[in-house]
Amino acid sequence: QVQLVESGGGLVQAAGSLRLSCAASGRTFSSYPAGWFRQVAGQEREFVAAIDWSGGRQKYGGSVKGRFTISRDNAKNTVYLQMNSLKPGDTAVYYCAADEDYFKIVTVNTEVSWGQGTQVTVSS
């Protein structure tokens, strides 16, 4: 498993932007697919975005497609989530995840490595 630490969350007004970062430890991270999920208290975790090890393949949840962009810098062991045109409905705790199995990322499998989460709050 890898260790993941998210950062970049905060309070932003609707229509604003934020960029989340996920710093990973472990030499195998550059070969792992990674992704982002979000969760609102009392609700299930929701898939946001996933990226394969090379960065050449991305997948997005329907509610964020066209507004969010996932990317990675394997030299820095870091995955990013650029969030534009934010809406109050995007308010949640955002978690970074990584696993050798891309399918587990896309299906929000709880067996993957998770970070501690970072709060994103979008005000109207």
Report pLDDT digits (tens) over 50-90.
999 999 999 999 999 999 999 999 999 999 999 999 999 99
Mean pLDDT, the chain, as a whole number? 95
The answer to whether 18 and 9 have CB atoms below 8 angstroms apart is: yes
Structure tokens belonging to residue 64? 């964020």
Reported as type and span, the H/E element at residue 102 is helix 102-106
Measure the CA–CA gap between 89 and 99, rounded to whole angstroms: 27
100-108 average pLDDT score: 92
Residue 74 region by backbone torsions, left for phi larger than 0, else alpha for psi between -120 and 50, else beta: alpha
What is the side-by-side strand order in the sheet with 18-25?
3-7, 18-25, 78-83, 68-73
Buried b / exposed e across 7-16, counting CB within 10 Å, b at 16+?
ebbeebeeee
- Work out the percent of the chain whose per-residue pLDDT is above 90: 91
Measure the CA–CA gap between 117 and 20, rounded to whole angstroms: 10
